Chain A
């Protein structure tokens, strides 16, 4: 039978014209079932939970389904770390839009924030080492210039003469290139401004990492080696729950803390008080006071990413 004739027959019968030729209905149904069965056994062979594999997108989950998903994460934590954890999915509050301020006239580059973040957010401390905050040492003479910056500076005492320090983390853009590029919609911007990742939907393609102009996304190249005793049991589904190998992660303004009204871990640890955090819609918040009274700028403004992360000079 010629290809054209076959096509006509199929169209007449109302069957998908791109199928591979005529076949009787019962045989097709059998083939479909067999294929599905093979897929299921293949998935099972890989250790993938079928329910997890077929569940809907996080934003479309019903209350019951969400509870099931959270319970599953807690169960997985228990298996992996032998510890009880509390995983929530606290949503954004109405009337809240987070803003972050970093006073680069105060930052001394002590890197306390980097390690407080690792501890709070259950990052892998070594091999692979993942730091969501990167503190750059820059020359006062050059100003904010990435060509004259050093991430791996080593010093006995900071700040070093002639240098200033410029910490970079996710800027929670209002126009996030990472979100646009994600092929699976595993990352999106929440209403309070936090850009989140569903690690169960991330396929690890790293498109978002190449799209991010701030280098704020990090990939788990290996199984995160997080000691059980260092696990932070207060977790958020879109935040600091332990990640598997092969997914991307990022700063979420400590979503597990800030959605409950607390300051992010980096704000609380900063010994010089260079980090400010609050609700941009509240005129009494410290971030609004900063924006109204200080010299404020955003990083790489020319890219029109419109960050919700502001750098400022209080002096």
Chain B
């Protein structure tokens, strides 16, 4: 653009300079922002409409119990047995405060130190599992419900993967604060009944109808 502007006649040059400056400014504003996000929120992460996180009964808000912060060193906990007993998320290297925020237990904490609410936990998971995060955003990994041509509701990563034991086993429907959502289980799914075999259909009621 600048190359174009410099050799032109003197009369036009000031006008062109203004034009070019405007163009550059517009481009600079447009390029880093998200496609749908308003300009004011351009630095904010893209947000996704998702089902609520599947908290166990009475576990949230965490600050109800964690009022006094004590020790931030890695250790075996004397509580949260239900998580400790199943913990299998790179257990050798990870522990609670890698993901949970020390100061405010009601939120999670990114590697950058920024906090994220539990409703946006995908941003935390996406730090390490970038390929899955990319696929999840595009609708390939995980599940969305709603409209193929319109509004969709995502399921969070933690709706299917227990964050403390993440390999997929099974899921069940639960109700959190009156809203239906999905929670991971530690058991595999039981399949629905198998279809009838043709001979079973023949030998049943239908056979009587034909007088066999």
Residues on A close to B: CB < 8 A? 96, 103, 108-112, 114-115, 127-129, 131, 134, 151-159, 221-222, 258, 261-263, 267-268, 270-273, 276-279, 282, 285-286, 289-290, 293-294, 314
Contact = CB atoms under 8 A, between A and B. Distances in A.
Contact of B135 (A112, A159, A314): A314
B148 A262 contact: yes
B24 interface: no
A286 B160 CA distance: 19
B159 to A, nearest CB: 10
Nearest to A98: B148
Interface residues of B, number: 36
B58 interface: no
Interface in B85-125: none
Contacts of B194: 111, 151-154
Nearest to A158: B191
Interface in B45-84: none
Main SS of chain B's interface residues?
Answer: loop
Interface centre among B139, B144, B191, B195 (most CB of A within 10 A): B191
B199 to A, nearest CB: 11
A114 B196 CA distance: 13
A157 B185 CA distance: 13
Interface stretch (B9-17, B25-33, B202-210): B202-210
A293 B137 CA distance: 14
Contacts of A109: 191
Nearest to B168: A272
Given A157-B188, A221-B206, A273-B141, 12 more contacts: A109-B191, A114-B192, A127-B206, A131-B195, A158-B189, A262-B147, A263-B144, A263-B146, A263-B148, A271-B189, A286-B139, A293-B140
Contact of A314 (B141, B171, B206): B141
Nearest to B147: A261
A250 B189 CA distance: 27
Contacts of A222: 206, 209
